[in-house]
Chains A and B, each alone.
Chain A
Amino acid sequence: MVPGFDALHGEQDMLRDVPPFEFRACMPLVMTTGREARSIRELREHLQQAGGASIMYHMHHFFIKSHLLEYSNDFARWVGEKLEEHILAERLSVIDPYLCRQPEAVREALIQTLDRHLQEFPEPRPAIPGEEFEFLEAIPLTFSIGIVAKNLAELAVALKYVDAVSVYYHFYEARLRHGSGDFARWIEEQLGEQELVKRLRSIDPFVHTVEGVRARILEYLEVHLSGTFSGGHA
């Protein structure tokens, strides 16, 4: 428990009988699909046929790796690192799976980007043997990690404690489920703290590691709990 915070806000929240925030985590059990691309043209062909789950896996699991910020998905990384097609890698990196949400929209955006590149640069080189792109998909195993928060102070404390995969599940993976992060959604629906929600939703998912996201959320929560937002809560 964060000293002082509960006294400031927690009791009020609990009086409202707020449904608690339940921390969960998601672990992917990864499978192959048998699809393998050696070139941009083959990548395009497979993207037309690949299952939506495979496309979405490659678009969003990347963020949990926490180390690479120059690309935002597996397709961009492969094109950039293995084919050295940096122009295409940059364009693929700005495709936002959370804005598209539906696999078909993501598929269309990817194929359009590849088509544009192939028109401009019609003879890209293939990958060297061993560096082909393997299309994967995953069975997500989701489970409660046994931690709940009944107010913002408890949410802040728990957020410091949980593994990165739990932060990932609620900040990134949640966007595929219902279009926004779970933390902001819970605060909005249950606590109605609009200024805080606005700040949490301003965190750009593409430019931070999971730990960076955790630090930002904590910062906003703690500023809010100490009542120092200039125009909102305080």
Chain B
Amino acid sequence: MITNYAGISPKTDLQLIERLAAVLSGRSMLHVNSTRAGGGVAEILHRMMPLIQSLGITVRWEVISGDEYFFEITKKFHNALQGTAVEFHDDMWEHHVAVNTANASSLDLEADAVWIHDPQPAPLIAHRRGGLWVWRCHIDASEPQADVLHHLASFCRNYDASIFSVARYARFPGVPAFVIPPSIDPLSDKNRELSAGEIAATLQQFGIPPDRPMLLQVSRFDRFKDPLGVIEAYRLIKKYNDCILVLAGSSATDDPEGEQVLQEVHQHAAGDPDIFILLLPSASDHAINALQRAATVVLQKSIREGFGLTVSEAMWKGKPVIGGATGGIPLQIIDGQTGVLVHTIEGAAFRARQLLNNADMAHRMGRQAREYVRTNFLITRQIRDYLALWAVLMRGSTSPEEFVL
């Protein structure tokens, strides 16, 4: 419950949550998305729901259903919002709306505050039966294709507010847009403290030597995460430093491109015994936690990134993180202070060498990184912001005037 975070989260976050809960207690909140398992949205909702419930707020979670064509269309929305050229036809817009209309008749959409997550259920706003409605977009929508922007904006403008993880993802006119980054849960299996024995057991399980400097990247096998670039950087580092490289990612069996990238990663590694490529099952939070805690330097050398919460996960563990200067990574890494931002493979390699050879620098950065995550990217901050937004909307004005609680 929320009191479990005392001594971990900032005191003022917990105090503000208490104040807001006093205002909102007895009311109801509903979250709607398109999957109950897999992905960051479901992960955070699973952790957040009981915490909000413990505040005296009734909270429910509904999941929309759809056929294969529906999810093909919404995947295309996702790509088109990120700037990939996609061709749409009128029947696609119509099917997106029709599936939502069908869902509206079977879902209970009654609540005082309704949080609709991502484009899939966005048209549900047409079936609003009271309450405050907020559209929460988790996607990088910084370069949206005009037609998909037009289609989604026609729904979004009917919401009371929208939420984006990064300011420049807010491209939908006509609705107040709030910036609320995602968060990590310090008490989850992925982030809780582990004993030295637990970490050692994980390394042994994967055959990773515990006594050599370890570079780690945790990410899907996706070109935007640049795993081949990470191997290139490792080879540049290896000319000067002994080290091993661990590339760990979840299963990509449902993503044909993911499988192809994984093959390319294996080919690029070319049998190097110091490169460990780990294809982890989806429920591998404990293993990821142990790997992050065992790493000497963590990389997230993305070329494109929605937010990149793996950065905050590693920072929370006091690790120096080298991140690609893209998407939400610069929000987490203050260059040279809470980590290092890089633009090239060469930059990643050079900064990794600095960190491998300067334990004081790595330690200082890791300490500042953990504190920065503590004050900005823990789940209590996200709950605080969600409840604050709800209270602000109840006030009836989103103008930037002081709200005294």
A associates with B: yes
Which chain A residues have a beta carbon within 8 Å of chain B's beta carbons?
25, 27, 29-32, 34, 36, 51, 53-54, 57, 65, 67-68, 130, 132, 134, 136-143, 145-146, 162-166
Contact count band on B = 35 or more
Name the contact of A139 in the complex, choosing from B168, B170, B398 (C-beta under 8 A).
Answer: B398
Chain B contacts of A32 at CB under 8 A? 164, 167, 170, 177-179
Name the contact of B400 in the complex, choosing from A65, A139, A143, A165 (C-beta under 8 A).
Answer: A139
Name the contact of A25 in the complex, choosing from B16, B375, B403 (C-beta under 8 A).
Answer: B16
Whether A143 lies near B392 (C-beta < 8 A) is no
Report the separation of the CA atoms of residues A165 and B291 in the bound assembly, to the nearest whole angstrom: 33
Whether A68 lies near B404 (C-beta < 8 A) is no
Name the contact of B16 in the complex, choosing from A34, A53, A143 (C-beta under 8 A).
Answer: A143
Which of B7-15, B35-43, B94-102, B258-266 participates in binding chain A? Answer: B7-15
Whether B398 lies near A145 (C-beta < 8 A) is no
User: What's the nearest-Cβ distance from chain B to residue A225, in Å?
Assistant: 25
Whether A34 lies near B173 (C-beta < 8 A) is yes
* Of B164, B180, B404, most A-chain CB atoms within 10 Å: B404
* Beta-carbon nearest neighbor of A145 in chain B: B15
Answer yes or no: B57 CB below 8 A from chain A CBs.
no
Interface of A is mostly: strand
Closest 4 interchain pairs by CB? A53-B400, A134-B167, A143-B405, A67-B337
Whether A143 lies near B11 (C-beta < 8 A) is no
Whether B334 lies near A27 (C-beta < 8 A) is no
User: What's the nearest-Cβ distance from chain B to residue A4, in Å?
Assistant: 27
Chain B contacts of A140 at CB under 8 A? 400, 402-403
Answer yes or no: B384 CB below 8 A from chain A CBs.
yes
* Beta-carbon nearest neighbor of A136 in chain B: B167
Answer yes or no: B183 CB below 8 A from chain A CBs.
no
* Beta-carbon nearest neighbor of A27 in chain B: B16
Chain A contacts of B404 at CB under 8 A? 142-143
User: What's the nearest-Cβ distance from chain A to residue B381, in Å?
Assistant: 9
Number of A-B contacts (CB under 8 A): 95
Answer yes or no: B389 CB below 8 A from chain A CBs.
yes
Which residues 1-51 of B sit at the A interface, judged by CB distance below 8 A? 10-13, 15-16, 19
Report the separation of the CA atoms of residues A212 and B270 in the bound assembly, to the nearest whole angstrom: 51
Whether B384 lies near A27 (C-beta < 8 A) is yes
User: What's the nearest-Cβ distance from chain A to residue B113, in Å?
Assistant: 15
Whether B168 lies near A132 (C-beta < 8 A) is yes
User: What's the nearest-Cβ distance from chain B to residue A34, in Å?
Assistant: 7
Whether A36 lies near B168 (C-beta < 8 A) is yes
- Do A25 and B15 form a contact, CB below 8 Å, given A67-B334, A137-B400, A142-B403? yes
Answer yes or no: B347 CB below 8 A from chain A CBs.
no
Chain B contacts of A51 at CB under 8 A? 400
Which residues 357-383 of B sit at the A interface, judged by CB distance below 8 A? 368, 372, 375
User: What's the nearest-Cβ distance from chain A to residue B397, in Å?
Assistant: 9
* Beta-carbon nearest neighbor of B13 in chain A: A27
Chain B contacts of A57 at CB under 8 A? 400
Whether A138 lies near B400 (C-beta < 8 A) is yes
**18 pairs, A vs B, C-beta closer than 8 Å:** A25-B15, A25-B16, A27-B12, A31-B179, A31-B400, A32-B177, A54-B400, A65-B334, A67-B368, A139-B392, A139-B403, A141-B405, A142-B404, A143-B404, A143-B405, A145-B11, A164-B375, A166-B12
* Beta-carbon nearest neighbor of B327 in chain A: A130
Answer yes or no: B87 CB below 8 A from chain A CBs.
no
Report the separation of the CA atoms of residues A165 and B405 in the bound assembly, to the nearest whole angstrom: 16
Answer yes or no: B211 CB below 8 A from chain A CBs.
no
Answer yes or no: B74 CB below 8 A from chain A CBs.
no
Answer yes or no: B385 CB below 8 A from chain A CBs.
yes
Report the separation of the CA atoms of residues A113 and B142 in the bound assembly, to the nearest whole angstrom: 30
User: What's the nearest-Cβ distance from chain B to residue A91, in Å?
Assistant: 22
Report the separation of the CA atoms of residues A132 and B168 in the bound assembly, to the nearest whole angstrom: 8
Whether B389 lies near A165 (C-beta < 8 A) is no
* Beta-carbon nearest neighbor of B304 in chain A: A130
A31-B179, A67-B368, A67-B372 known, 14 other contacts, Cβ within 8 Å: A25-B16, A27-B12, A31-B398, A32-B170, A34-B173, A65-B334, A67-B338, A130-B326, A137-B400, A139-B399, A139-B401, A140-B402, A146-B15, A163-B11
Answer yes or no: B176 CB below 8 A from chain A CBs.
yes
Chain A contacts of B236 at CB under 8 A? none
Answer yes or no: B388 CB below 8 A from chain A CBs.
yes
Chain A contacts of B402 at CB under 8 A? 139-140, 142
* Of B167, B176, B392, most A-chain CB atoms within 10 Å: B167
Report the separation of the CA atoms of residues A156 and B372 in the bound assembly, to the nearest whole angstrom: 25
Chain A contacts of B326 at CB under 8 A? 130
Report the separation of the CA atoms of residues A80 and B405 in the bound assembly, to the nearest whole angstrom: 37
* Beta-carbon nearest neighbor of B330 in chain A: A131
Whether B179 lies near A141 (C-beta < 8 A) is no
Whether A31 lies near B178 (C-beta < 8 A) is yes
Chain A contacts of B401 at CB under 8 A? 139
